[in-house]
Structure 1
Amino acid sequence: MHIVGTGFLARSLAPIADAHPDTVVLAAGVSWASGTSGTDFAREAALLADTARRCAADGRRLLFFSTASTGMYGNANGPGREDEPVEPCTPYGRHKLALEGQLQDSGADHLILRLGHLVGPGQPPHQLLPALLRQVRSGAVQIHRGAARDLISVADVITVIDRLLGLGLRGEVVNVASGFAVPVERIVDHLEHRLGVRVERTWSDSGAQHAIAIERLTALVPDVARHFGPAYYRPVLDTFLAAA
């Protein structure tokens, strides 16, 4: 595969970099779910347009990473599904949905993966887990009441990507997540327990809580999805802490 990008996800794809030579992976762009920069959004849209044009010209498939975050599915009535209309509730979510449409209209063979909250070594410091870990180590954590996040190991995501690309999927949108939204306070509980500390918790206004439907993912890669469950987040956090 040809990987466009040098960030966290692009580096994590190294184990399968020599596979799927018919595929271009666009692993560059806005990675901050709270981002609102019109300049950054425009830069990613231009990069996608150029990459899709090249893929259409030489017959390669383009893998694009969208989001299954609250920005995309926060307004969903029930678990967020790929085959239902979506009303994004943040600028980031609206941007990613617009890019999905841009790619679908480009004429390039493509696969769109809507990702949950990836967890793994070397992820950007502004993302959820590094930010929470810094707060726990500082002794004070601010938690949005009711907030929950679907955590998934980046190693499992790479395995899923490898399997999905091997199936030859084209023109599909697939959620890649564990299917279990974990309350943020439980994430903090686990970090406290593993680090042997107690932190002061400050509660703010209600946070976004949502679930991500993974029936399509489970049907496509049942052997990978089988180990997801309510307690899946614990070993994911342990692996993250071991690397941190």
Structure 2
Amino acid sequence: MRILVLGATGYLGTHVAEQLRVRPDARVLVGGRSPAADVTVDLAADRPQDLAAALAEAAPDAVVNCAGATGGDAATLAEVNARGPAVLCAALRKAAPGARLVHLGSAAEYGPTEPGVRVTESAPTRPAGPYGATKLAGTVAVTASGLDAVVLRVGNPVGPGAPPTGLPGRVAALLAASFADDGDDPEAVLRLGDLSARRDFVDVRDVARAARLAVTAEGPLPSVLNVGGGKARPVRELVRALADAAGFRGRIVEEEDGGSARSAQVSWQCSDITAAGDVLGWKPAHPLDASVAALWAATGRRAGPAAGVAAR
């Protein structure tokens, strides 16, 4: 089985490619802008006909699109998150119409939801900012494509390799930096924004397993499946767990003007993951503490000896 993973060098894509390689019958092809990629692809810039030619040569049985942008201005987000999936679908219809497409969307597409309620895939989508809006546009392009396609609407991923563009990776990087400045000092201070929001955290390795199951599932799949932890956890809880895993002995200070605009607009986020369990036989396997511990272990290795010593 030939499986093309787009964005395979990114946070989610790295784990997805690794998970797919577990299958003995799978040949995983890497797609991206690097000349070293098996298939050279730039979803933000390629013309559909050029991408179709590359796909025809690769002849994939399935494509997993992990490419996406989480930061940048609205134009950058639109190029990658909205235009990219639309171009990919157009190219697949021409070059590999029988290939299954698994596209990674985002729970940010739902926008503000009612506190205490887990949102199902049929819930209204009212994204609160450009990121969620552009991810929703990409989802619409996929679900309206007529292809054998499914969108995995992913919650807040956490785990090894989390980038500093997201809260878990940013806090891990700040903790690693603090240890270079005596972060094991009980007088050390970690200053963050408001941490009162609740988010649906899901281990990146569980996301990768869901993608593998979606690639290999028999028969047509629903157009959208939620992939999350199924619980709304206080962001404060994640930060405290990460600080504990790191051995941080200082204080965590929440500053009113340091939070993100999205946290202020979306105070609660939790997905109903029943459908993914019914259709894929999937459920999250990693508890939050294990995800946080794996994130810190990876961050400590990257940060060097100082962080590694402090974490003990």
Which TM-score applies when normalising by structure 1? 0.85
Note closer, same or farther for the CA distance 1:94–1:242 as it changes in structure 2 (3 Å cut).
Answer: same
The equivalent residue for 1:225 is: 283
Residues 157-166 or 132-141, more deviating? 132-141
Q: Secondary structure at the match of 1:236?
A: helix
Counterpart of 1:239 in structure 2: which amino acid?
A
Deviations 1:38-76 (A, max 9, x none): 1331344332222112222222122111101xx323322
Q: By how many angstroms is 1:19 displaced?
A: 5.9
Note closer, same or farther for the CA distance 1:123–1:193 as it changes in structure 2 (3 Å cut).
Answer: closer
Q: CA RMSD in A?
A: 2.4
* Structure 1 Cα separation of the partners of residues 130 and 62 of structure 2: 29
Alignment partner of 1:72 out of 102, 109, 116: 109
Q: By how many angstroms is 1:202 displaced?
A: 2.1
The equivalent residue for 1:92 is: 131
Q: By how many angstroms is 1:201 displaced?
A: 0.9
Deviations 1:102-144 (A, max 9, x none): 2222232211011111123333221121111233443313131
The equivalent residue for 2:205 is: 155
Q: Secondary structure at the match of 1:74?
A: coil
Does the alignment pair 1:181 with 2:232? yes
Mapping for residues 19-58 of structure 1, pairs under 5 Å:
21-32=60-71, 35-57=72-94, 58=96
Q: Structure 2: which 5+ runs fail to align?
A: 29-59, 179-188, 258-262, 300-312
Could you list the structure 1 runs, at least 4 aligned residues long, displaced by more than 6 angstroms after superposition: none
Q: How many residues align?
A: 236
The equivalent residue for 2:165 is: 126
Counterpart of 2:283 in structure 1: which amino acid?
A
Report the identity percentage: 27
Deviations 1:133-170 (A, max 9, x none): 23344331313142122222211111121122222344
Q: Structure 1: which 5+ runs fail to align?
A: none
* Structure 1 Cα separation of the partners of residues 196 and 169 of structure 2: 20
Which TM-score applies when normalising by structure 2? 0.68
* Structure 2 Cα separation of the partners of residues 170 and 218 of structure 1: 12
Counterpart of 1:150 in structure 2: which amino acid?
D
Deviations 1:1-33 (A, max 9, x none): 11122322222222315369521111212133x
Higher-Rg structure is 2
